[in-house]
Chain A
Amino acid sequence: GNSVTQMEGPVTLSEEAFLTINCTYTATGYPSLFWYVQYPGEGLQLLLKATKADDKGSNKGFEATYRKETTSFHLEKGSVQVSDSAVYFCAQGAAGNKLTFGGGTRVLVKP
């Protein structure tokens, strides 16, 4: 079945450091891929998405490229801020617009 695997956290960084969160998926065909972010005490918000191979999603300085060769959708940001501290979820879309999520990666950015 479909699944999403992302690196386990927590990831602790200093402000202005480079962030990478790895995400790989297994699926039949080419699903849409998403990154959602959950700030402390809040629900999930869409961060970015890509709907086909080689697409790059970007938002708030974050980027992720849909790589069908490696079935990956790694999230990157060149210079993180304290306000980026959150839990990040990778997900893939399936029929019925249902999402399959990875386990989430907690990121803590220290000043």
Chain B
Amino acid sequence: SQTIHQWPATLVQPVGSPLSLECTVEGTSNPNLYWYRQAAGRGLQLLFYSVGIGQISSEVPQNLSASRPQDRQFILSSKKLLLSDSGFYLCAWARGEASGNTIYFGEGSWLTVV
């Protein structure tokens, strides 16, 4: 069976510090990978998606970047965090690109920038 894990689960970071959230998927190959953010009191926003190693598409301009160094590894980064980067970050994966395919989410990472 397929599993998805992301870490760390929670972190508190000062403004201006770097960020690295990591996500790995097991039990499948060449998945589509996604990073979503849920800001406080708001819905989910797609930040990045990737269809393959080294292939990253950004959905919204922001202070964050994503990388996919391996087939089943997806990393969300920032060089200097802003207060507005606080939120709940969710990694997700799906098979292929058909719009009816189910997207599976990780457990989420709570980021508080202080």
Contact = CB atoms under 8 A, between A and B. Distances in A.
Interface of A: 31-32, 34, 36, 42-46, 49, 51, 89, 93-104
A102 B103 CA distance: 16
B99 A42 contact: no
A98 B101 CA distance: 10
A51 B97 CA distance: 14
Contacts, number: 60
A97 B43 contact: no
B90 interface: yes
A97 B105 contact: no
Contacts of B97: 95-97
Contacts of A46: 102-104
Given A43-B106, A43-B108, A98-B59, 11 more contacts: A42-B107, A42-B108, A89-B43, A95-B97, A96-B97, A97-B99, A97-B101, A97-B103, A98-B46, A103-B43, A104-B43
A96 B108 contact: no
B49 interface: yes
A89 B46 CA distance: 14
A102 to B, nearest CB: 6
B98 to A, nearest CB: 6
B94 interface: yes
Contacts of A99: 44, 46, 103
16 contacts: A34-B102, A43-B107, A44-B92, A44-B105, A45-B105, A49-B102, A89-B43, A93-B99, A93-B101, A96-B97, A97-B98, A97-B99, A97-B101, A99-B46, A100-B46, A101-B43
B94 A97 contact: yes
Interface string B83-96: 00000001010101
Contacts of A51: 100
